[in-house]
A and B are shown apart, each in its own frame.
Chain A
Amino acid sequence: MKKRIYLDNNATTPLDPRVLEAMMPYLTDKFGNAASRDHSFGWEALEAVDRAREQVAALLGAEPREIIFTSGATEGNNTVIKGLAEMYADRGRHIITQPTEHKAVIDPCRYLDKHDYRITMLGVDKYGRIDLNELRDTITDGTILVSIMHGNNEIGTLQPIAEIGKICKEKGVFFHTDVCQTFGKVPIDVQEMGIDLLTLSAHKIHGPKGVGAMYVRRKNPRVRPKPLLHGGGHERGLRSGTLNVPGIVGLGMAAELCGRDMATESKRLTGLRDRLRDGIMSGLDMIFLNGHPTERTPSNLNLAFAYVEAEALMMGFKEIAASSGSACTSASLQPSYVLRALGVDDMLAHGSIRFSLGRFNTADEIDHVIERVIAVVKEKREISPLYEMAQKGIDPRKVEWKVH
């Protein structure tokens, strides 16, 4: 196979060699348990964890002790949603979220829905943004939590987090945001944005897999979710379990590297992203952008290729790794629920591909991708009956189909 090109950085990213270097001693010589208070092996581990806590907090405008390390964002989201629901059940049993959240938010909410909580899914517009007035009107006396992600993993759309935080503060409800796709890429400040709880993961920012963090506000207001894992009382009792010291060190280093040149890297990624979009669109007709045209994460480009199916395209440019939440990979043949929530036409949803960029992508790679994508789309359109129809002026959406 030709040289592979990785454009699936919203799924996971390669470890930065500098992160690995920072982690290495904690996988070998400095293997101590951060909870061992009686000897230097423990002390050096604890010291490393504390440094990582500062590195993560610095990127969020938070205090280090408000950072709780987890195994990743799925654990974080579960802890926040289920832990808060349990802790504040006497205050109310209503939670507000949106249909385009990651499954790690939607499924805990569904779980609560089956246990006598009420979940409201806000509507989203064609770009995937919520309506702030609808949010304001939906909050009731029984609402305990609003959970709205910062940047969407599939379509890249950014939500107006600061405005949401303000509304939640006015109404006195907790505000949680999943920042997996924006942490280290887009400025976040928990004070300015009125965020009470936040969840993130290391492997999206060139850190290791299996480690993440939660921000849990300590004052104005103090938030206290019940823990998911009970045990030794680590992490202020919010997350028991021996700390993953090398992972945490990796997360800290990955965060610091992102913070160091966020502005220039964000500009570089946005440039590559737009180069890819413009390059593909200038070579093909009937290509549509999914998600918001400007309010989107620097790394995400999601395009709909009319008349062709996403998996066939990706099999066509095998050396390029991208993602299709919409491919008929399951027997259910359901296209992406995120695109569906945006009201994207079914044919376009089936033909949508997410290209997501990262630190190690280059302009040369992008130019190669443009060339290959254009060639493969043309090829697959030649064998598509829908394209043939369109050429004859027939709109595939208006045909009566014989479903098999």
Chain B
Amino acid sequence: MPYSEKLVDYFENPRNVGSLDEDDADVGTGTIGSPICGDVMKLQIRINGHEKIVEAKFKTFGCASAIASGSLATEWLMGRSLDEALEIKNANIAKDLELPPEKVHCSVLAEDAIRDAVNDLREKMKKAAEVTEQTAEPQPS
């Protein structure tokens, strides 16, 4: 078996599989990869009022390493702020799962999906803030 026990565990019993509603204001969605390359990861996060991640879900089309990387990433995301979420690097995931060299790109996929999800959520928050500002302006009488 070329894979570590931990990788096999996260592949066979993936944590946090699922989907959140993309349209929710407190949900950020990242989708990275392509079916042409053979791996696609969708990663979603939900934050609470204090901007801590309270929920993380993923789905992966890809090999065992890609599935395990996505699953591990969702676990690590829980309780982090968005800035802290961006501190998760592919190298940490690759090391923790003992990914073989040819599978390191799977952990890159997870890092990119996190960044994509955080960016998506920040865009949403920015837009929401703009809308609030506009509506908060006093109306000319």
Contact = CB atoms under 8 A, between A and B. Distances in A.
Interface stretch (B54-62, B75-83, B121-129, B131-139): B54-62
Nearest to A311: B63
Given A384-B60, A385-B41, A386-B61, A346 B105 contact: no
What DSSP secondary structure best describes chain A's contact surface? loop
Contacts of A384: 59-61
Interface string A329-363: 11101010000000000110010000000000000
A329 B64 CA distance: 11
A382 interface: yes
Contacts of B66: 309, 312
A404 B61 contact: no
A383 B11 contact: no
Interface string A292-326: 00000000000000011101100100000000001
B109 A404 contact: yes
A323 B35 CA distance: 20
Contacts of B38: 309, 326-328, 333, 335, 346, 350
Interface string B10-44: 01001001010000000000011111111111100
A397 interface: yes
Contacts of A315: 8, 11, 63-64
B31 A385 contact: yes
A335 B35 CA distance: 11
A386 B11 contact: no
Given A311-B63, A312-B67, A333 B35 contact: no
A383 B63 contact: no
Contacts, number: 94
A307 B39 CA distance: 10
Nearest to A401: B34
Contacts of A346: 35-36, 38
A286 interface: no
A299 to B, nearest CB: 26
A92 interface: no
A401 B62 contact: no
What DSSP secondary structure best describes chain B's contact surface? mixed
Contacts of B108: 404
Contacts of A311: 63-64
B33 A404 contact: yes
B63 A309 contact: yes
A307 B63 contact: no
A347 B62 CA distance: 10
Nearest to A307: B61
B62 A328 contact: yes
Contacts of B14: 383
Contacts of B60: 383-385
A84 to B, nearest CB: 37
B39 A309 contact: yes
Contacts of A312: 11, 62-64, 66-67
B2 to A, nearest CB: 10
A402 B109 CA distance: 11
Contact of A383 (B31, B59, B105): B59
Q: Which of A328, A346, A385, A402: most chain B Cβ within 10 A?
A: A385
Given A309-B38, A315-B11, A329-B102, A403 B33 contact: yes
B37 A388 contact: no
10 contacts: A312-B11, A326-B38, A329-B102, A384-B61, A397-B35, A401-B34, A402-B32, A402-B116, A404-B32, A404-B37
Given A331-B101, A331-B102, A385-B42, 19 more contacts: A308-B61, A309-B39, A315-B11, A315-B64, A327-B38, A328-B37, A328-B62, A329-B102, A333-B39, A350-B35, A350-B38, A383-B14, A383-B59, A385-B59, A385-B60, A385-B61, A402-B34, A403-B37, A404-B112
Pairs A-B, 3 closest by C-beta atoms: A401-B34, A347-B35, A385-B42
Interface of B: 8, 11, 14, 17, 19, 31-42, 59-64, 66-67, 101-102, 105, 108-109, 112, 116
